[in-house]
């Protein structure tokens, strides 16, 4: 069996990668365990030097890694370059912060010795998606490798070139053999790796259904998991919002990566008092985005990752229109090669429609008219998801108070939702559990150990 990487713009096969055999997987797992036994004893200072080197390799080869991403999954080359830079940033961040995050904590009790220490737990399996094929991996790898764990990457099968490139970065940076490895297998083969006794924990970024399967497999072995799953992020545009700013940020949040983002802006809850004005400005911002060859620096939005994803998205749009939604913009498959889908706006969106209930993984915006702030909060929370949200208002205190009422892992005010190494990232409800990034994410796969003693 082999894994195929196909260019979503040209439709041409890039390369076939042979899947790892059972014997190769066995060797890979043993390498990870063996590497862990020595890597956990390497000083944080030494690990940091290697992680800083990984960041430099990324920056020095930015175009090389950006082109691999664009060719394999259709990301605009400018966005791909930014992703490489962001991946380097997270490497630098944890190289600088790991020592602080692992500092023992003394706690005053009746014991003479009373402290909490933080220790690595072993090989961590990362199951990662194709939409941000470098960033998603480095935000897992940088903290875990700095903490003393080792990493095994099971990447999406259509971005095997990215997967091997990430392993290459760590190898060139000087990380010991086995500290970070890519395993090339299909999704159906993943459970046997999850259940293997040598795997200490599992992290997944992907769909809610994939998360449930991974949680089930890991739960059978009582293994810690972190799940970052789907989202249907609500953006609340209140009556006192800066309409120009809101339209700009909402369009950017919806169209980033051709709308293929779990934290992409998806549902837009607009106050009746500014509804028409906002919709006009939003439509203008959405339709201004230029479709084209993702390798062209002037292109602002490339194709979806494949035609199957595009067809699924279009089906959701058609079903929503059949149920009463009004198509304000787009909504038709363009007469272009590859899996392009246009910027699309659906208005009059109501419960029962895919545009209201489901995650739309592409450049489609669902606009909902609201009467007041209370209704906006109610509709924002009327979803099985809880990953991100945004509030637009000139009254920062009011926006902050509303943000506290929204059931999600993050709420941004007057900006679109984004991940940042300095801030915890993750969701609630069917958007998953656990956190990545910041101190909270760093400690997810550590043994938080209490040591207490008397003379």
Nearest CA to 364 among 303, 317, 418?
317
DSSP 76-144: -HHHHHHHHHHHHHHHHHHHHHHHHHT--EE--SSSSEEEEEEEE-SEEEEE--SSSTTHHHHHHHHHH
Length of the chain: 455
Q: Which of 250, 262, 407, 430 is catalytic?
A: 262
Residue 85 a catalytic site member: no
**Cβ-contact 232, 359 below 8 angstroms:** yes
Beta bridge partners of 293: none
Q: What angle do CA 61, 304, 191 make, to 5 degrees?
A: 80
The 344-347 sheet, strands edge to edge: 326-329, 344-347, 364-370, 265-271, 233-237, 388-392, 410-413
**Cβ-contact 250, 406 below 8 angstroms:** no
Please state, in angstroms and rounded to a whole number, the distance separating the CA atoms of residues 281 and 286: 9
Chain center to CA of 90: 14
Q: Which of 79, 83, 228, 444 is catalytic?
A: 228
**Cβ-contact 452, 109 below 8 angstroms:** yes
Query: 123-127 and 201-205 as β-strands: parallel, antiparallel, unpaired?
Result: parallel
Residue 228 a catalytic site member: yes
Torsion 13-15-17-18 (CA) sign: positive
Please state, in angstroms and rounded to a whole number, the distance separating the CA atoms of residues 434 and 357: 24
33, with CB counted inside 10 A (0-12, 13-18, 19+), is middle
Token pair listed for 188? 């159906």
DSSP letter assigned to residue 148:
T
Residue that is written with structure tokens 């990457």 in the block? 153
> Could you tell me the maximum CA-CA distance found in the chain, to the nearest angstrom?
79
For residue 313, count other CB atoms closer than 10 A to its CB.
Answer: 23
Q: Would you name the residues annotated as active-site residues?
A: 228, 262
């Amino acid at each position: 069996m082999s894994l195929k990487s196909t260019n979503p713009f040209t439709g041409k096969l890039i390369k076939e990668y042979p899947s790892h055999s059972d014997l190769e997987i066995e060797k890979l797992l043993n390498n990870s365990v063996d590497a862990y036994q020595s890597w956990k004893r390497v000083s944080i200072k030494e690990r940091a030097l290697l992680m800083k080197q990984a960041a430099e390799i990324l920056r020095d080869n930015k175009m090389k890694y950006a082109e691999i991403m664009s060719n394999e999954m259709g990301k605009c080359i400018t966005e791909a370059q930014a992703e490489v830079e962001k991946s380097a940033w997270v490497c630098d961040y944890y190289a600088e912060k790991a020592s602080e995050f692992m500092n023992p904590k003394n706690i005053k009790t009746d014991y003479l010795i009373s402290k909490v220490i933080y220790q690595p737990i072993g090989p961590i399996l990362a199951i990662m998606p194709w939409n941000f094929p470098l960033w998603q991996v480095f935000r897992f790898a940088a903290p875990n490798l700095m903490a003393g764990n080792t990493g095994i990457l099971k990447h999406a099968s259509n971005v095997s070139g990215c997967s091997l490139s990430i392993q290459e970065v760590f190898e060139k940076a000087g990380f010991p053999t086995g500290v970070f490895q890519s395993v090339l297998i299909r999704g159906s083969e993943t459970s046997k790796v999850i259940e293997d006794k040598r795997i200490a924990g599992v992290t997944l970024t992907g769909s809610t259904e994939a998360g449930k399967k991974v949680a089930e497999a890991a739960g059978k072995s009582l293994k810690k998991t972190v799940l970052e799953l789907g989202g249907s992020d609500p953006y609340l545009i209140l009556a006192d919002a800066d309409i120009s700013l809101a339209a700009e940020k909402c369009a950017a949040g919806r169209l980033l990566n051709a709308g293929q983002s779990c934290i992409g802006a998806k549902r837009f809850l607009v106050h009746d008092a500014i509804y028409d004005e906002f919709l006009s400005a939003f439509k203008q911002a959405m339709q201004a985005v230029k479709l084209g060859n993702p390798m062209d620096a002037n292109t602002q939005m490339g194709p979806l990752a494949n035609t199957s994803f595009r067809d699924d998205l279009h089906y959701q749009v058609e079903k929503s229109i059949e149920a009463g939604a009004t198509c304000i913009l787009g909504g038709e498959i363009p007469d272009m090669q590859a899996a392009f889908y246009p910027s699309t706006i659906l208005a009059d969106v109501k419960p029962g429609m895919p545009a209201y209930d489901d995650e739309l993984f592409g450049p489609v915006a669902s606009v909902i008219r609201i009467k007041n702030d209370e209704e906006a909060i109610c509709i924002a929370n009327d979803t099985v998801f809880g990953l991100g949200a945004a509030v637009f208002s000139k009254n920062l205190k009011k926006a902050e108070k509303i943000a506290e009422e929204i059931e999600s892992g993050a709420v941004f005010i007057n900006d679109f939702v984004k991940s940042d190494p300095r801030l915890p990232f993750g969701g609630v409800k069917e958007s998953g559990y656990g956190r990545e990034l910041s101190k909270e994410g760093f400690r997810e796969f550590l043994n938080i150990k209490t040591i207490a003693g008397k003379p």
